Amino acid sequence: MQAWPFPQLPKLPGQGRNLRVLDTAHGGVRTLDLGPTVRLYACGITPYDATHLGHAFTYLTYDLVQRVLRDAGHEVRYVQNVTDVDDPLLERATRDGIDWRDLARREIDLFRADMTALRILPPDHYVGVVEAVGLIVDMVSQLVERGAAYSVDGDLYFSVAAAPDFGQVAHLDPAQMLVSCAEHGGDPGRPGKKDPLDPLLWRAERPGEPSWPSPFGPGRPGWHVECSAIARHYLGATIDIQGGGSDLAFPHHECSAAHAEVANGARPFARAYVHTALVSLDGHKMSKSRGNLEFVSRLLARGADPAAIRLALLQHHHTVEWEWTAAAMPAAVERLDRWRAAVALPSGPDFRPVLAEVRDRLADDLDAPGALAAVDAWAAAALAAGSGSGEADDQAPATVRDTVDALLGVDLGPVLPRGT
């Protein structure tokens, strides 16, 4: 399906550093060993409700990853899926009395509009499960051939015992795995399974549910295998970075990796697993199922500047959980005003230290708060000096504006013609 438009990306002087990032599977921050082309996969939305700020924070993480990688001279191939058929989507459509396809279409359109407003770099391939059923059936068939699948009353399950590295993504102990499995769409208590953790690969047709033909009978894909199959088709058997919110580490990324590794015969599935910490509201993780949400579209409808929403998110490190509060927007607007005023000056302090610092901060595990502090310091110095500083550089405002645009994705507005 169609993604959303690619925003402008100014070219900056010089080149950025290699990315160091917290890799969940490795258990620490490390410099990624990347080739000229980096293959990135981020798990996309289940389109049954509008984009909340938690989703936006997660997609901002992979936007920053791409900006840092591109600035360091890499080409990025980026794929994102859409879980456009799954239990929560079907349940919501039934509850609201609308067709599940119409619900998905409406929410995907809204997501695209939100991503465009926030200037999130789009994927090269934006792929819905419905359009990828053939790829998914191929992967499930291979898992069946490899003896890694079995049937429980017609539903196909993957045997985690077939995956030697199962557990190496999230590093949970067995009791934690069971809890997390039950909380995230698994069915550890279902009788007839070989291991309570075995995930569903193919769900046999139920009355009133959408289904597709397959060699294992009509039905629909299980959740985890959609990402393994889509990633393999568009990026190959081994990818560089698998991303998503930290709620996806287990069981989703663990199981997607296990499916891919057994089907492809290549380990590991992803060289690094980058997870975004969850955003809360009213003391709980923002979630569609709980309903404690603040939507990007609602903020925009109330007249919020999308650049200010982006700044409000950038104020947080992607590995630290945080809570959205009403104070976030006024603070971001105030910062945005300061930055806009500073880049509108005819000259300002040398741009090189701030460019170097923003690059270094972002390459160091996407330290967005550190990058904001560097721009704050430059803007404060520029505004304090006004236009009369003897040390001032008349290229600085434009280059800082480009730095903030290219690396942080924040649009500070057009360059004012000289003399205005």
> Annotated binding residues, as ranges?
43-46, 58, 81-83, 223, 227, 245-247, 252, 279
Neighbouring C-beta atoms of residue 300, cutoff 10 Å = 16
Interface with Zn ion, residue 227, by CB under 5 A:
yes
CA 350 to chain centre: 34
By beta-carbon proximity to ligand 5CA, the closer residue of 129 and 162 is 129
Interior CA angle at 8 toward 38 and 334, to 5°? Answer: 110
Cα–Cα distance for residue pair 244/240, rounded to 1 Å: 14
By beta-carbon proximity to ligand 5CA, the closer residue of 274 and 379 is 274
Find the shortest distance in angstroms from Cβ 249 to Zn ion. Answer: 11
Residue 245 binds which of Zn ion, ligand 5CA, none (CB < 5-8 A, kind-dependent): ligand 5CA
Neighbouring C-beta atoms of residue 51, cutoff 10 Å = 24
CB 205 within 8 A of CB 4: no
Residues 333-362 vs ligand 5CA: string with x where CB under 6 A? ------------------------------
Interface with ligand 5CA, residue 276, by CB under 6 A:
yes
Stretch that binds Zn ion, among 42-50, 61-69, 134-142, 174-182 (CB under 5 A): 42-50
Beta bridge partners of 203: 220
Amino acid at 56: A
Beta bridge partners of 270: 239
Residue facing Zn ion at closest CB distance:
43
Residues 227-266 vs ligand 5CA: string with x where CB under 6 A? x----------------xx-xx------------------
Interface with ligand 5CA, residue 103, by CB under 6 A:
no
Q: How far is CA 62 from CA 77, 100, 196, 279, 298, in A?
A: 12, 28, 32, 16, 23
By beta-carbon proximity to Zn ion, the closer residue of 16 and 245 is 245
| Euclidean distance between the first and the last CA atom of the chain, given in angstroms as a whole number | 44
Residue 403 binds which of ligand 5CA, Zn ion, none (CB < 5-8 A, kind-dependent): none
Cα–Cα distance for residue pair 217/255, rounded to 1 Å: 23
Find the shortest distance in angstroms from Cβ 3 to ligand 5CA. Answer: 15
By beta-carbon proximity to ligand 5CA, the closer residue of 81 and 403 is 81
Stretch that binds ligand 5CA, among 156-164, 193-201, 285-293, 380-388 (CB under 6 A): 285-293
* SS3 at position 241: strand
Give per-residue burial for 210-227: e unless 16+ CB within 10 Å, then b.
eebebebeebbbbbbbbb
By beta-carbon proximity to ligand 5CA, the closer residue of 260 and 279 is 279
Find the shortest distance in angstroms from Cβ 405 to ligand 5CA. Answer: 25
CA 132 to chain centre: 20
Cis peptide before 164 (omega within 30 of 0): no
Q: Which of 19, 21, 25, 43 binds ligand 5CA (CB under 6 A)?
A: 43
Find the shortest distance in angstroms from Cβ 133 to ligand 5CA. Answer: 15
H-assigned helices in 118-253: 133-145, 174-183, 223-235
Q: Which residues are annotated as a binding site for Zn(2+)?
A: 43, 227, 252
CB 54 within 8 A of CB 279: yes
Interaction with ligand 5CA in 104-143: which residues (CB under 6 A)? Answer: none
Interface with ligand 5CA, residue 83, by CB under 6 A:
yes
By beta-carbon proximity to ligand 5CA, the closer residue of 247 and 365 is 247
Stretch that binds Zn ion, among 23-31, 36-44, 228-236, 313-321 (CB under 5 A): 36-44
Please provide the DSSP assignment of 77-117 as one string: EEEEEE--SSHHHHHHHHHHTS-HHHHHHHHHHHHHHHHHH
Cα–Cα distance for residue pair 375/305, rounded to 1 Å: 19
Residues that bind ligand 5CA (CB under 6 A): 43-46, 54-55, 57-58, 81, 83, 227, 244-245, 247-248, 276, 278-279, 285-287
By the criterion CB under 5 A, which residues form the site for Zn ion? 43, 227
